[in-house]
Structure 1
Amino acid sequence: MEFAETDRLIFDYITAADADFLWQLDQDVEVMRYLNGGFKTSREDIESVFLPRLAAYANPALGWGLWKVLEKTSAEALGWILVRPFGFFTSHPQIDNIELGWRFKRSSWGKGYASEAAIAVRDGLAYTGISTFSAIAAPDNTASIGVMKKLGMTFSHTQFYEDSIYSEDVVVYTQTL
């Protein structure tokens, strides 16, 4: 699967060959603030935790995985969009509800890139017949919640989200097209 470019963005499927990009993105404590309290991800964790988790749900034919978001004119990598079944790493994954997530360089914040990219990915997936999308965020992560609202998602519920490496209270926003 491929996603159509937007006026400003193009997309590229992330593989293990992108480990350096993933590591660099996670070196900004503000980028990591709502993910793990602001701790930088080690290169070892990218290789031994992040990439194996990505491989567990990656399915390029279905669009599942991480999609690098690049600025069209400069080809600068701005961040990524996550696509996977909601709750994939829990005991109750929802194959018919696709989770969207995002992580972007701080230098690209406030410019609408995350919303633009997430809308393009959502719309591309919707074209294949997927109709339910969800996203999660820390309750005080107003920027990510703002992206969810720009997507047209609405608050669904608060839950304690737990898998093998993450355990926090989150807000869940959902949209059915």
Structure 2
Amino acid sequence: MGADDAQALFELDQDPEVMRYLNAGICTTMEQIEQRMLPRMLAYRNPKLGHGIWYVSTRADCAQLPSSYIGWILVRPMAFFTESPQLDNLELGWRFKRESWGFGFASEAAQAVAEAVAKYGAASTAPVQAFSALAVPDNLPSIAVMKRLGMQFVSQRLHQDPMWTAEIVEYRKTLTP
């Protein structure tokens, strides 16, 4: 996804249930997407390494869902917005339309993206050693996705980021060479 995808990002963030564990259900404004989200996304975007926001859609024959765009998968170095980004430990994140919940799309898409990114990163100067994910402790659906991805609990702590401060859990999957 790139700067031309503001409308898709906006559409996804208009459901309070989608935003529930991110900011207590407050919908994102188009101004926030244009002024904050897109610049942040573009800061860590690196197509050669697979870093960025991956657009997720269903196949044309998926009759259960009315639209093909169902969400996205985020990939960026852990702690990217700090002085010590972890180039070999990539953060996976996801956000999906509520209509797509319960079908396994988040797990399937995150797994496929992680596999693709690990292949991209294998040729870089900082090969991917691990994938991590963060969630608030009450976000049991996201924690279930982390577990389905083979991630293990690492810690519970206060996470501070320029856009987000919250008590979180971190899960990680270390890759074997």
Verify same fold: TM over 0.5: yes
- Residue in structure 2 matched with residue 170 of structure 1 by the alignment: 168
In the alignment, does 2:41 pair up with 1:58? Answer: no
Answer whether contact 2:50 2:116 (CA < 8 A) is retained: no
Identity value in percent: 53
The whole-number CA distance in structure 1 between the counterparts of 2:23 and 2:37 is 13
Q: Cα distance, 1:71 vs. partner? A: 0.4
Q: Does the alignment pair 1:38 with 2:36?
A: no
Match of 1:6 in 2: none
CA contact (8 A) 1:133 1:176 kept: yes
* CA distance in structure 2 between the aligned counterparts of 1:137 and 1:77, rounded to whole angstroms: 23
CA deviation map 1:118-155 (0-9, x unaligned): 00011112224223100000011000000000000000
Give 1:118's aligned residue.
Answer: 110
Q: Are 1:90 and 1:162, in contact at CA under 8 Å, matched by a contact in 2? A: no
1:16 aligns with 2:3: yes
For 1:71 and 1:110, locate their aligned partners in 2 and report how far apart those are by CA, in whole Å.
14
Aligned equivalents of 1:72 and 1:140: distance in 2? 31
| Runs of at least 5 residues in structure 1 that lack an aligned partner in the other structure | 1-13
Equivalent residue of 1:99, what SS? strand
Give aligned pairs, total.
164
Question: Which consecutive aligned stretches of 4+ in structure 1 deviate over 3 angstroms post-superposition?
Answer: none
* CA-based RMSD: 1.1
Q: Which residue of 2 aligns with 1:139?
A: 137
What is the TM-score normalised by the length of structure 1?
A: 0.90
In 1, the alpha carbon distance for the partners of 2:138 and 2:174 equals 24
Match of 2:100 in 1: 108
Matching residue within 76, 79, 87 for 2:68? 76
Of 93, 108, 113, 2:85 maps to: 93
What is the alpha-carbon distance in structure 1 between the residues aligned to residue 118 and residue 44 of structure 2?
A: 19
CA distance in 2: counterparts of 1:65 and 1:150, whole angstroms:
22
Matched residue SS, 1:140: coil
Counterparts of 1:131 and 1:165 in 2: how far apart (Å)?
Answer: 26
The secondary structure found in structure 2 opposite 1:102 is strand
Residue by residue over 1:26-78, the C-alpha shift from the partner in whole angstroms, topping out at 9 and shown as x without a partner, is 00000000001100000100000000000110111111000010102257101
